[in-house]
């Protein structure tokens, strides 16, 4: 088994944690530390790790001033509650960067927005087919 733990640098771990937790409809929890938190699915799978810029001396997480947050990165979440996730995204007050549409490449519904640090976040429907 392999798992990828995506870690992004953020200005405010607690605020970003709440933003993602709300968007994804995760239980009301808090990050483990002021400078690090992991968003975890119901089965314990780490969905995303949030790391405070400059904490712990990691060379790639030095500062948002060194590289534009999200350059070359799309946080792409597949969800089975697409309509509810869209409603939560709108309630967060973040403008949608891409309105809900059917992606011609995947055939699934999706929308995109930016998180508080400027990362590009895309939400894609897990669509079930009979047969």
Tell me which fold the domain 7-125 belongs to: 2,3-Dihydroxybiphenyl 1,2-Dioxygenase; domain 1 (3.10.180)
Cα–Cα separations (whole angstroms), residue 96 to 27, 31, 85, 87, 91 = 23, 26, 12, 11, 11
Instruction: List pLDDT tens digits, range 108-123.
Output: 999 999 999 999 999 9
> Which residue's structure tokens are 């699915």?
41
Which is nearest to 17 in space by CA: 40, 34, 37? 37
Q: The pTM is what?
A: 0.88
Annotated domain spans of the chain: 7-125
Instruction: List pLDDT tens digits, range 8-59.
Output: 999 999 999 999 999 999 999 999 899 999 999 989 999 999 998 767 666 6
Sign of the Cα pseudo-torsion (3, 62, 10, 103, in order): negative
**Average confidence (pLDDT) over 85-102:** 95
């Amino acid at each position: 088994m392999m798992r990828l733990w995506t870690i992004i640098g953020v200005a405010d771990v607690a605020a970003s944690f709440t933003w993602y937790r709300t968007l994804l409809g995760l239980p009301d929890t808090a990050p483990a530390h002021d400078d690090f938190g992991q968003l975890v699915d119901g089965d314990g799978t780490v969905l995303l790790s949030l790391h405070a810029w400059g904490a712990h001396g990691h060379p790639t997480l030095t500062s948002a001033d060194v590289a534009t947050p999200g350059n070359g990165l799309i946080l792409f979440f597949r969800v089975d509650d697409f309509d509810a996730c869209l409603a939560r995204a709108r309630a967060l007050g973040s403008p949608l960067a891409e309105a809900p549409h059917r992606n011609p490449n995947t055939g699934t519904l999706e929308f995109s927005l930016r998180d508080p640090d400027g990362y590009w976040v895309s939400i894609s429907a897990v669509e079930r087919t009979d047969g």
